[in-house]
Chain A
Amino acid sequence: MSKYTEDDLREELKTKEYEYGFFTDIESDTFPIGLNEDIVRAISKKKDEPQWMTDWRLEAFKIWKDMTEPEWANVNYKKPDFQSIAYYSAPTSVDPNKTLDDVDPDLLAMYKKLGISVDEQKKMNNVAMDIVVDSVSVATTFKKTLAEKGIIFMSISEAIKEHPELVKKYIGTIVPIKDNFYAALNSAVFSDGSFCYIPKGVKCPMELSTYFRINQGGTGQFERTLLVADEGSYVSYLEGCTAPSRDENQLHAAVVELIALDDAEIKYSTVQNWFPGNSEGKGGVYNFVTKRGLCEKNAKISWTQVETGSAVTWKYPSCILKGDNSVGEFYSIAVTNNFQQADTGTKMIHIGKNTKSTIISKGISAGKSQNSYRGLVQINSRADNARNFSQCDSLLMGNECGAHTFPYIEAKNKTAKVEHEATTSKIGEDQIFYCNQRGIDTEKAIALIVNGFSKEVLNKLPMEFAIEAQKLLEISLEGSVG
């Protein structure tokens, strides 16, 4: 009988290939590499943007030029050469009047490989999809149903043209241009993304979903998402991504801004599965994301993320709890394998009275990866009776990976109640043998243990997403074990 040890497990995890590593050859309209004012102008022109938008981008570019990349995160990587990246790429055959039936068959085939059958999604899942391939939206569905409720859900490029008053009012208010290096870069060159507005008192009747995808080799992608939930409204937004396998590192610097006005609620769920690099640590996506939401009075924002991809992740979905009685939540599962590095967590900024935040972070490390939780809970002086509960759990597989926790707490109000719990555990051979003895093989045993570990977070995802996420955890960790 072969002896199965953690060494074997580690060995097998190493050989796990990226399942979605293929490259679809779609003719792309790609800009020359490099970044300067002319490129910024050209992006804006290409997208037929109004002058205020061009100016906003140029201002961002000016600010970005003088900024330096942050180095405080617990990650090591070769800094991208920002002058060797092409800043715009769009599939060539785009026609705004197209329906899904007219979409490039290569693209549709690609979705099939990914298991994303758009038609099936449309028919069966009650999910409206705004699909971003490279930088330009190629198809938007369910628009009509949403329009009847007054819900606006479209690409941000369209929104800039069709609803300039809304975009102008909110863009950059939550994540200012100069917020950080990557946010400034995104503001200058953002390619596309989604815009969503839920009118007063409207409960969005379906989960809104966007599939992002980086496709063209050597092209950075800079999405911009702006989501406004007006007073008393509710929306659940799903974001999921996979990317084809590429050798050179791909830069991804997205910005997501959420605004929950009085009594509104936003649920924002992400499944991120970009190419993590190969088993030697070559290639993979650099994922430097700024996500932040603002809660007005009695509002609630809930971030849920399942992060399994990318070579380097730098991401802190945060909540500014400005309004009294507002609620912020952050539920996260971050899986790292091979040479992946993740530095992720959240910031909960309590400004209003009786504000409440919950942080549940589950980190799973395998291979030679490094997985860090970094979180800030800040209670400002006016925030009477603010409450926070944080729980950070780490699960280790093997002896070469690392799990780190960096919790920061700043409380300036004596009535604050802040709780922090942290655990670190290892999948034990005893646990695996116990499962084996009950007829469960090692691969399935690990899936079971990992899913059990992640359950509190998986439970927060919408049903169909939870199943997808569960599969993703299995693929990322134990697909080739056994």
Chain B
Amino acid sequence: MLKINNLHASVEDKGILKGINLEVKAGEVHAIMGPNGSGKSTLASVIAGKEEYEVTDGSIIFEGEDIEELAAEERAHKGVFLSFQYPVEIPGVSVTNFIKTAINESRKAKGLEDMPAKDMLKLIRDKADLLEMDRKFLSRSLNEGFSGGEKKRNEIFQMAMLEPKLAILDETDSGLDIDALRIVANGVNKLKSKDNAVVVITHYQRLLDYIVPDFVHVLYNGKIVKSGGKELAHELEEKGYDWIKEEVNA
């Protein structure tokens, strides 16, 4: 589904990703871990198509197509979803209005008519229930005054609505208490299928107890320096990142 080859990317001429290789197949869950500043969020942003980042070398192949030249919204239309670490506020635009616009824009890109209001409403209700969201929440301005947990829950709600092929969850666990973490993780698990894939970016093992990865990668200094199964996450939790750094620097 996703194949990243020798990816180099920089922001304002500062190299951040220095040769990433990663392959994610349909039905898989990958976790990307690593110390602060290793390039985890940059990788997520580059895959999603954030314009501040310049790809200086390598390629991003999604569903057999090089998406490097595509605008962020075109990548979204193809099924790339990013759950933001810091979701932005859009005052005056309700959660409902925002997701309705997003759904209909994606449909328009595929040559489909707007979703009938009745179907939209039903879909919104079903997915809100999945995330145990209060109905009142849906009429609030997007992310305005939301708690950390509400913001993340809203991200996963949007993911549930958009049904992406590839979902990248950027530190979705940060700012969540244990109950919110469980709800969010359950939501993600229910959305998982053999046809889609999830990339979880996290500092901690905690989230991975709920969303169990098939592969764990350690990102350090712009490169994937170690890959393994879920047991690698436990090892990191126990031993920290220093031994990895030492290995790399040795």
Interface contact A1-B68, CB-CB below 8 Å: yes
- Please report whether the interface of chain B is mostly helix, strand, loop or mixed according to DSSP: mixed
A176 interfacial by beta-carbon distance below 8 Å: no
A456 to B90, CA, bound (A): 14
Q: Of A262-270, A437-445, A465-473, which stretch is located at the interface?
A: A437-445
B88→A437 contact, CB < 8 A: no
* CB neighbours of B68 from chain A (8 A): 1
Q: Which residues of B contact A436 (CB under 8 A)?
A: 49, 71-73, 76
Contact, CB under 8 Å: A448 / B88: no
Interface residues of B in 46-78 (CB under 8 A from A): 48-52, 68-73, 76-77
Q: Please tell me if the beta carbons of A439 and B102 are within 8 angstroms of each other in the complex.
A: yes
Once bound together, how far apart are the Cα atoms of A451 and B68, in whole Å? 31
A5: which B residues are within 8 A, CB to CB?
51
Is A66 among interface residues, defined by CB-CB distance under 8 A? Answer: no
A122 within 8 A of B: no
Q: Contacts A433-B50, A434-B84, A452-B141 known; A440 to B105 CB distance under 8 Å?
A: yes
Task: Please indicate the chain B residues that have their CB under 8 angstroms from the CB of A434 in the complex.
Answer: 84, 87-88, 90
**B residues contacting the other copy or chain, number (CB 8 A):** 33
B97 to chain A, nearest CB (A): 8
* Cα A198 to Cα B248 with chains together (Å): 84
With both beta carbons as reference points, the residue of chain A lying nearest to B99 in the complex is identified as A438
B76 touches A439 (CB 8 A): yes
* B48 neighbours in A (Cβ, 8 Å): 437
Could you tell me if A433 and B72 are in contact, using CB atoms closer than 8 angstroms? yes
CB distance from B51 to the nearest CB of A (A): 4
A3–B51 touching, CB < 8 Å: yes
Report the minimum CB–CB distance from A438 to chain B (whole Å).
Answer: 4
The 8 A CB mask of A397-441 against B (1 = contact, 0 = none) is 000000000000000000000000000000011110111111111
Max chain B C-beta neighbours (<10 A), residue from A434, A437, A455: A437
Q: Is A241 an interface residue (CB 8 A)?
A: no
Q: Does B240 contact A (CB under 8 A)?
A: no
Residue of B nearest to A434 (CB): B88
Judged by a CB distance under 8 angstroms, whether A454 is at the interface is yes
Decide: B90 and A1 in contact? CB cutoff 8 A: no
**A residues in contact with B172, CB < 8 Å:** none
B205 within 8 A of A: no
Report if A4 contacts B (CB, 8 A): yes
Is B93 in contact with A441, judged by CB distance below 8 angstroms? Answer: no
Q: Which of A429, A435, A452 contacts B92 (CB 8 A)?
A: A452
B92 CB to nearest A CB, Å: 3
Quick one: closest A residue to B49, CB to CB? A1
Tell which of A5, A433, A449 has the most Cβ of chain B within 10 Å: A433
- In the assembled complex, the Cα of A452 lies from the Cα of B93 at a distance in Å of 5
Cβ of B101 < 8 Å from any Cβ of A?
yes
For residue A453, CB closer than 8 A to chain B, the reply is yes
Does chain A have a CB within 8 A of B91? yes
- A456's nearest neighbour on chain B, judged by CB, is B92
Q: A433-B51, A454-B92 are in contact. Are A441 and B73 (CB under 8 A)?
A: yes
Determine if B106 is an interface residue (Cβ-Cβ < 8 Å). yes
Contact call A439/B106, Cβ cutoff below 8 A: yes
- The reply to whether B73 and A451 contact each other, CB–CB distance below 8 Å, is no
Contacts of B158 in A (CB 8 A): 438
Q: How many angstroms between the C-alpha atoms of A8 and B162 in the bound complex?
A: 29
Contact status A455-B162, CB under 8 Å: no
Which residue of chain B lies nearest to A449 when distances are taken between CB atoms in the complex? B90
Q: Mark A135-158, 1 if CB is under 8 A from B, else 0.
A: 000000000000000000000000
Flag if A1 contacts B69 (CB, 8 Å).
Answer: yes
Partner of B88 from the list A428, A439, A441 (CB cut-off 8 Å) is A428
Closest to B82 in A: A437
What residues of chain A have their CB less than 8 Å away from a CB belonging to chain B? 1-5, 428-431, 433-442, 444, 448-449, 451-456
Listed by A's residue number, 15 A-B pairs whose Cβ atoms lie within 8 Å are: A1-B49, A1-B71, A2-B51, A2-B71, A433-B50, A434-B87, A436-B71, A437-B72, A439-B77, A439-B106, A448-B90, A449-B90, A449-B93, A452-B93, A455-B93
